Chain A
Amino acid sequence: MAKHVVGPAGEIPPGGRKIVEIAGRSVGIFNLAGEFFALRNRCPHQGAALCTGQLGGLVTAAAPGHYDLSRPGEMLRCPWHGWEFDVRTGQSWVDPQNVRVKRYPTELVKGPYLAESYRVSVEEELLVVEIS
């Protein structure tokens, strides 16, 4: 388990994302209305760069002819085969119990941060991803 600072939180606006390399892994970080979620940028199906896919809502149907669109921007569709994943949990829509993309914990910490590669102001919040 190691924590990695990936940059100032303000770099990723709500609805936005950033793809970073952490410890040899490509990781996508998403901002859902101020909450940050980190997912491995690799689809468990055939290995596409999942985190570059389109974000959309969840469509459910309780009965024929009924459609509910909820959680806008929280479902991630793989750019290859369109498998959908819940950004909050990494669970797939197709098989939530068995097919999921690795999710990494995130947290925000206050600066200053001493690593040379990040030039950030003292007051800025830093986004940290924990890689297990």
Chain B
Amino acid sequence: MNALVDCDIHNALTADALHRHLPQRWRTYHREYGRRMTPGDFYPKATPSAARTDAWPPGGGPPGSDLAFLRRQLLDAWPIEMGVLNPLLSIRNQYRDFDAAMASAANLCQIAEWLDPEPRLRASLVVPYENPSLAAEEIRRQRDERRFVQVLIPSRTSEPLGEPKYWPIYAAAVETGRPIGVHFGGWSGGHPISGAGWPAYYLEYHTGMCQTFSAHLISLVCHGVFEEFRDLKVVFIEGGLAWIPPLLWRLDRAWKKLKSENPRLTRAPSEYVREHLWMTTQPVEEPPEPGQFHRMLDDLAMPGHLLFATDYPHWDFDHPDHSLPATLAPELTRNIRRENARALYGGG
């Protein structure tokens, strides 16, 4: 198979790894006080650490914590010429200075322990996203480290992402030439994943992932974020694809009738979305007939904005050779597997 780019790899930054890059004051603080608990917002996953059961490094540590094992099980197992690390270390509003120190330590750790030893890797910047001014400082601090190819925000934020509260993050991202990657997960601060209340089953929760993404997409459009930041690129990671076309139909239809509510929106919502949004494939919808998948992509009409991802080492991992229908046009498959990501994230 031809070379590919994996746009969603999870490297685990353990406490020990973070402590190697954290100032003494914050190492002590972390040991003495720890991080804020997140009662009631997480579900037990399908497997321990939500990982493939074969992804636990033989030398110990959680899945994704061992670069040599990750190389063997992922980067060398397929012709992955570039992989984007998304550490799911949600740094939320706890203690301002501690948040800032943890984010900086996470990024220094990624440079020293992941990017320097493995040239195929790129990474997302970890930022204290509920403190957008701090997040913007961290983004600018790493302005010149071009191996940080995007800014990472988990999808379970405390407010919808169109809120002006988050705009300093977008300003810094645009200024430093990076997309915003919104990845499933995080800690919402109390509200459920569903608009109708708390789900009981993990199947409900997992299926409900796309609800958080659709809420963010509507919010980003309605707040005029793509008018304010004409160069902003947003990547939805692990949010699915198939729900997007009907959402755009609904938005466009209602916008025509409700234009007077928000005169900032001068173009149809679908135009903003098709210009500013990218999506990773995993966990890609698997309709029973390949023709349904083709129709979905036709309705989406964003062939240049689809990015292949495995989500290694998680249990809902997509296999590079088996997750997209074999009936897709070869050029489209090549673009999804490689070219679109190279165009978005660069090859450098």
Contacts and interface: CB of A to CB of B under 8 A. Distances in A.
Interface string A94-124: 0000000000000000000000000000000
A61 to B, nearest CB: 13
A82 B46 contact: yes
Interface stretch (A8-16, A31-39, A49-57, A67-75): A49-57
Contacts of B321: 47
Interface residues of A, number: 13
A47 B46 CA distance: 19
Interface in A42-86: 45-49, 52-54, 77, 79-82
Given A49-B54, A54-B53, A80 B322 contact: no
Contacts of B52: 48, 79-80
A45 B315 CA distance: 13
Contacts of A81: 315-317
Best-surrounded residue of A49, A79, A80 (most CB of chain B within 10 A): A80
Nearest to B313: A80
A46 B54 contact: no
A49 B53 CA distance: 11
A47 B53 contact: no
Grouping DSSP codes into helix (H, G, I), strand (E, B) and loop, the B interface class, with mixed when no group exceeds half, is: loop
B333 interface: no
Contacts, number: 30
Interface string B47-72: 10000111000000000000000000
Interface in B314-348: 315-319, 321-323
Most B C-beta atoms less than 10 A away, residue of A46, A47, A77 = A46
A82 B147 CA distance: 34
A88 to B, nearest CB: 22
A52 B55 CA distance: 12
B234 to A, nearest CB: 28
B315 A80 contact: yes
Contacts of A47: 319, 321-322
Contacts of A52: 54
B322 A53 contact: no
B251 to A, nearest CB: 33
Contacts of A48: 52, 54, 319
A54 B52 CA distance: 11
Interface in B22-57: 46-47, 52-54
A6 to B, nearest CB: 23
A59 B322 CA distance: 29
Contacts of A54: 53
B323 A46 contact: yes
Nearest to B320: A46
Given A46-B322, A46-B323, A49-B54, A80 B46 contact: no
B323 to A, nearest CB: 7
B319 A46 contact: yes
Contacts of A80: 52, 54, 315, 317, 319
A94 B54 CA distance: 21
Interface in B224-279: none
B47 A82 contact: yes
Contacts of B317: 80-81
| Cβ-closest 4 pairs across A and B | A46-B319, A46-B322, A79-B53, A79-B54
14 contacts: A45-B322, A46-B318, A46-B319, A46-B322, A47-B319, A47-B322, A52-B54, A54-B53, A79-B53, A79-B54, A80-B52, A80-B317, A81-B317, A82-B47
Given A45-B322, A47-B319, A82-B315, 16 more contacts: A46-B318, A46-B322, A46-B323, A47-B321, A48-B52, A48-B54, A49-B54, A53-B53, A77-B53, A79-B52, A79-B53, A80-B315, A80-B317, A81-B315, A81-B317, A82-B46
